[in-house]
Amino acid sequence: MTITRRRLIQTAALSASATAMPFLGARAQTAEFTYKFATNLPMTHPVNIRGKQAADKIREETGGRLDIQLFPSGQLGSDTDMLSQLRSGGIEFFTLSGLILSTLVPNASLYGVGFAFPDYDAVWRAMDGDLGAYIRGQIGKANLVAMDKIWDNGFRQTTTSVKPINSPDDFKGLKIRVPVSPMLTSMFKAFDAAPASINASEMYTALQTKVVDAHENPLSVVSLFKLYEVQKYCSLTNHSWDGFWFLANRRAWERLPASVRDIATKHLDAAAAQERADMAALNSGFQQELVGKGMVFNSPKTEPFKEKLQKAGYYSEWKGKFGDEAWAALERYTGKLG
**Binding pattern for the stretch 234-263 against ligand X2X, x by CB under 6 A and - elsewhere:** --------x---------------------
In 3D space, the residue among 297, 163, 286 whose CA is nearest the CA of residue 226 turns out to be: 286
The answer to whether 261 and 253 have CB atoms below 8 angstroms apart is yes
* Residue 97 touches ligand X2X, criterion: CB under 6 A: yes
Smallest distance, ligand X2X to C-beta of residue 165, A = 17
Residue placing its CB nearer to ligand X2X in the complex, 16 or 200? 200
List 77, 179, 243, 300, residue binding ligand X2X (CB under 6 A): 179
Question: Which among 67, 72, 28 has a CA at the least distance from the CA of 49?
Answer: 72
Report phi then psi at 193, rounded to 5: -85, 180
Residues in the chain: 338
Please give the Cα distance from 66 to 28 (Å, whole number). 9
Residue 195: beta bridge partners?
Answer: 176
Of 48-56, 58-66, 95-103, 135-143, the window that binds ligand X2X (rule: CB under 6 A) is 95-103
Q: How far apart are CA 245 and CA 228, in angstroms?
A: 26
- Enumerate residues 64-93 that contact ligand X2X by CB under 6 A: none
Q: How far is the CB of 210 from ligand X2X (least distance, A)?
A: 18
For residue 250, the minimal CB distance to ligand X2X (Å) is 22
The greatest distance separating any two alpha carbons of the chain, rounded to the nearest whole angstrom, comes to 61
Complete DSSP assignment for 309-338: HHHTTHHHHHHHHH-HHHHHHHHHHH----
Contact 252, 89 (CB under 8 A): yes
Is residue 131 a contact point for ligand X2X (CB under 6 A)? no
Q: Report, in Å, the least distance between residue 295 CB and ligand X2X.
A: 17
User: In the bound complex, what is the minimum distance in angstroms from residue 179's beta carbon to ligand X2X?
Assistant: 4
- Spatial neighbors of 131 by CB under 8 A, at least 6 apart, are 110, 111, 329, 330, 332, 333
Of the candidate spans 55-63, 94-102, 124-132, 279-287, the one that interacts with ligand X2X by CB under 6 A turns out to be 94-102
- From the list 26-34, 97-105, 245-253, 278-286, the region that binds ligand X2X by CB under 6 A is 97-105
Residue (176 or 248) nearer to ligand X2X, CB: 176
Number of residues that bind ligand X2X (CB under 6 A): 10
Is 295 a binding residue for ligand X2X by CB under 6 A? The answer is: no
Spatial CA neighbour of 17 closest among 91, 70, 68, 92: 70
Question: How far is residue 129 CA from its own chain's centroid?
Answer: 19
Binding positions for ligand X2X, 10-49, rule CB under 6 A = 40
**303 three-class SS:** helix
Q: According to CB under 6 A, which one of 153, 186, 238, 274 is a site residue for ligand X2X?
A: 153
DSSP type of residue 107: G
Q: Which of 47, 83, 86, 99 binds ligand X2X (CB under 6 A)?
A: 99
Whether the CB-CB separation of 234 and 297 falls below 8 Å is answered with yes
Q: Which residues of 228-259 are buried (b: 16+ CB within 10 A; e: fewer)?
A: bebbebbbbbbbbbbbbbbbbbbebbeebeee
Q: Binding pattern to ligand X2X, positions 196-235, x when CB under 6 A?
A: ----x----------------x---x--------------
CB of 177 to ligand X2X, least distance (A): 8
Give the separation between CA 228 and CA 223, rounded to whole angstroms.
Answer: 7
Q: State which residue, 67 or 242, has the beta carbon closest to ligand X2X.
A: 242
Q: Give 11 or 158: the residue with its C-beta nearer to ligand X2X.
A: 158
Please report how close the Cβ of residue 241 comes to ligand X2X at its closest, in angstroms.
Answer: 11
Please say which residue, 40 or 69, places its beta carbon nearer to ligand X2X: 40
Residues that bind ligand X2X (CB under 6 A): 40, 97, 99-100, 153, 179, 200, 217, 221, 242
